[in-house]
Amino acid sequence: MKQPRIKIKPVGGVGQIGSNMTLIQGKQDTIIIDAGILFPYEDFFDIDYLIPNLDNIPEPSHLVITHGHEDHIGAVLHVVKKFPKIKVLASPFTAGLIRKKLEFNRHPHPITEYRHFDQLGFNDFTIDPIHVNHSIPETVGLLIKDIKEEIGFFFISDFKIDFKTIYERPFDFDKLIKHSKMLKKRVLLCDSTNITSSTKETPSEQDLIPVIDGIFAETKGRLFITCFSSNIHRLMTFISMAKKHGRKLVPHGRSMISYLNTANELGMIPDFQSVVKMTESVTPNEENIVVLLSGCQGDFRGTFRRFSIGEDSQYKPRPEDTVVLSSKAIPGNEKKITLLVNKLSEVGCHVITPQDKLIHVSGHPGRTDLKMLYEKYDPTDIVPIHGESYFIREHIDFIKEAYPKATPHYFLNNDELLVSDDLKISVFDGETIEPVIIHGKGIILEREKISERRKLATTGSVFISLKLTSTRAKVEKFSFNFLGLPTLVTANEEKFKRFLENYFIQINFKDEEKTNEELRVAVRRYFDQILGYKPTTTIHIL
């Protein structure tokens, strides 16, 4: 098969929400757009996150980052470790976030900053960053044009259209149109996150300000707010309201402090010095404080969870407190957040959620916003990205209905979109490649180990240590302990001890491996008769 002019292959983020990473290849160039992580939907027993499998990716020369959310930058560390010569390009704010991540992991790597007015040049294509609105500063879409300027791809995985916001410029449609109108073919790779939402036009961040102002005015005691730490524009609203109402604002939680500090270092928060105070500089029971809690999704180690259940070392919930949830639950986290809201309600806190007041707006487009983008860019082809498989299908149907002049294309992770020299677009199915599980200090955890963890977590464990006689035929002495088994078992240790003593009389260890397995099976059967299930059993022979 003749080498295509351009090949686009998502290795993460299409067919799922998270781990965004897209491979762009020309005849000479290979680059990656974004390097994100995926938080597990199912219970993976305290693993940290998942990333795309990097083993099958040809070595890229550059990694171009569109914005600073974890599902777009969380895997940068793994990419630079895998490809140490790669050049990383990001906006100043995003670059600041990445540098802190790499420094925290003691693995610094050069980051080249680009601005929205720059053009990134390669052998086979150019990339023009197009400023868009989103829930984090300095988000861009990427207009990728082949070197002949015959075909262009507007890659815009996260965006909203906000003409009212006071915190950033509106979506730069003028630049997009100017740089794409001469193209023979215009392909749009576009955000599908909110395609099923009943909100057709995403509200502006500006719309929240009077509502938040009212909450500050009405609140007499302490005010606690949780939201996404990366939503700097939302945090700026809280800071300006704290200043207006004579309150101190305290960021609480590592990510909240880190994001705010990065924004402040770049001069993005005018009132930082006069309003923002660190936890150690305020008294926890002061009535005029506003505490920003990280971990708005109810994360197990998150500050919002610790505070809600009364385990935070600095702040305990009180009946006179007001707690504001200025974020939406990511699918799968609803139950965790509801449990925390219930805990706060039991204490007597006044809890305000997005169901009560307009205190959160999405960073993604509704259907009306998508149609506006179609009409402005006038694509010949549209490829839905950034969404679960169901969202991608729904987006395809919407394209057929709302913009039938464009050809929709369906592809998922590891599928390939190829552009021939005559500009014909073809999509080829790829093989399913499971993401890689990361745990602890960035260590890969094999999938079969999750099954072992599940067994340990659900059945408990029995550990038996044996010391054999010098002839290694009989047991000289033994010990055992239990983990995760009910008190019924530990209260009857003597009974289990007699079971083992009787069992050891009947056997010898001339065939150690065989006898070891027979003992393990016998112990599991013993507990099955008592508990109704078989705990994981480990025999250790000294």
The C-alpha torsion from 377 through 379 and 382 to 386, rounded to 10°, is -20
Predicted pLDDT at 539: 92
pLDDT higher than threshold 70 for residue 1: no
CA distances (Å), 271 to each of 230, 235, 262, 284, 288, in order? 18, 11, 14, 22, 17
Q: What is the DSSP letter of 483?
A: E
Tell me which of 3-12, 36-45, 293-302, 304-313 is least confident. 36-45
pLDDT at 417 over 90: yes
pLDDT at 437 over 90: no
Q: Which of 288-297, 449-458, 476-485 has the lowest mean pLDDT?
A: 449-458
CA distance 270 to 277: 14
Local confidence band at 473 (pLDDT 50, 70, 90 cut-offs): confident
- Residue 56 binned pLDDT confidence (cut-offs 50, 70, 90): confident
Give the per-residue pLDDT at 43.
59
Maximum Cα–Cα distance for the chain, whole Å? 89
Q: Give the residue-averaged pLDDT of 437-459.
A: 84
Strand partners, 142: 129, 155
* Percent helix, strand and coil across the chain, each to the nearest 5: 30, 25, 45
> How confident is the model over 26-48, as a mean pLDDT?
84
What per-residue confidence (pLDDT) applies to 531?
93
List the domains of the chain with CATH numbers: 6-200+362-438 (3.60.15.10), 205-352 (3.40.50.10710), 447-541 (3.10.20.580)
Res 454 pLDDT > 90: no
DSSP 220: -
> What is the mean pLDDT of the segment spanning 141-164?
97
3-state secondary structure of 351: strand
What's the CA dihedral at 142, 148, 150, 153 to 10 degrees?
A: -20
Sequence letter at residue 209: I
- N-to-C CA span, the chain: 62
Has residue 374 got a pLDDT over 70? yes
Residue 398 has a pLDDT of: 98
pLDDT score at 42: 59
Q: 225 and 238 in contact (C-beta within 8 Å)?
A: yes
Alpha carbon distance 15, 21 (integer Å) = 12
Confidence grade of residue 494 (pLDDT, cut at 50, 70, 90): very high
Sequence-distant (≥ 6) Cβ neighbours of residue 413 within 8 angstroms: 10, 11, 12, 13, 14, 15, 16, 52, 430, 432, 433
- The token pair at 344 is 């706060």
Average pLDDT across the chain, whole number: 94
Confidence of residue 48 (pLDDT cuts 50, 70, 90): confident
- What's the token pair of residue 26? 């020309």
In the three-class reduction of DSSP (H, G, I as helix; E, B as strand; rest coil), residue 242 is classed as helix
Span 135-162, average pLDDT: 97
Can you give the pLDDT at residue 362? 96
Output the pLDDT for position 512.
Answer: 83
Residue with tokens 């009077």: 210
Q: Cβ contacts of residue 422 below 8 Å, gap of 6+? A: none
Q: What is the pLDDT of residues 301-314, one digit of tens each?
A: 899 999 999 999 99
Q: In the numeric block, which tokens belong to residue 282? A: 């305020």
In this prediction, residue 542 has a pLDDT band, given cuts at 50, 70 and 90, of confident
- What distance in Å separates the CA atoms of residue 130 and residue 139, rounded to the nearest whole number? 8
Q: Residue 276 carries which DSSP code?
A: B
Residue 425 in this model has a pLDDT that exceeds 70: yes
Strands 223-226 and 322-325 come out as parallel
Query: Which residues fall within 8 angstroms of residue 29, CB to CB, at 6 or more apart?
Result: 61, 122, 123, 124, 125
Residue 520 neighbours by CB distance under 10 Å: 16
Q: What is the pLDDT of residues 208-225, one digit of tens each?
A: 999 999 999 999 999 999
pLDDT > 70: percent of the chain: 99
Look up tokens 């400023």; give the residue: 131
What is the C-alpha separation between 356 and 341, in angstroms, rounded?
13
Q: Which two tokens stand for residue 154?
A: 């507007």
